[in-house]
Chain A
């Protein structure tokens, strides 16, 4: 994923956002993204937002198991005798 000279660095940084947060970039790609983020508040804000968004999605979608379901599942166990 080497940068072509004609590609806008912010467009490239946007492309790297997900693999960056997933820690899927090579060392050189990561260094490239970090160097750009150090200089570019436009991208930096968007990266922080993505990080916060992921946490929020995880929290917002949690729905606890209904209490009686666990007993229903336990009732499915094979009787010992």
Chain B
């Protein structure tokens, strides 16, 4: 505080360089986790790679605005989701274009009707649904709902973190998650059982 000696400026620069290196290393350590979320926010691997590079370039430039001790992964994802929106990858849907939802038992009931009742005793859901079914169904969920599912159910963010990342109220996170999961199950039913 108020240090004016000739050594102060180089020392300050050295401290800043050390903090920046520390920040960059921490951000890079999180890259795998950030990528897993990024990959499901966009359609292709190429888009995810571009988005990651833009995100990290921006994060490295803006590192001073990160508050140490707060959630760096959420901070990086906030940059990433903002860039994703800025790049116009999202198609805003008006409410009347949102797909119909069914209840929460819908997928189970459809599998049961089709004679493919899941073996829940052994939790062998994978005997009834494939990885491709899930990826395809998720990509069919409208962006606003998918973003929340990806952050909470795949990225393991809390409702509060997801609200901060997407800059929406926590109540909106909860309602989009609730509806998004129902839409996902309807899409899964379409993928696995056929026209519904």
Interface residues of A (CB under 8 A from B): 14-15, 17-18, 24, 45-46, 48-58, 60-66, 69-70, 72-74, 76-78, 80
Contacts and interface: CB of A to CB of B under 8 A. Distances in A.
B60 A77 contact: yes
Contacts of B113: none
A66 B120 contact: no
Size bracket, chain B contacts: 35 or more
A49 B108 contact: yes
B167 to A, nearest CB: 21
A65 B34 CA distance: 9
Nearest to B126: A56
B35 interface: yes
Given A56-B129, A60-B131, A18 B181 contact: yes
A57 B35 contact: no
Contacts of B185: 53
A10 to B, nearest CB: 8
A56 to B, nearest CB: 5
B104 A73 contact: no
Interface string B153-164: 110000000000
Contacts of B130: 60
Contact of B17 (A45, A62, A80): A80
A57 B118 contact: no
Contact of A78 (B20, B107, B184): B20
B53 A58 contact: no
12 contacts: A48-B121, A49-B120, A55-B123, A60-B130, A60-B135, A61-B40, A63-B40, A64-B35, A70-B31, A73-B31, A76-B53, A80-B21
A23 to B, nearest CB: 11
Contacts of A73: 28, 31, 52-53, 56
A52 B31 contact: no
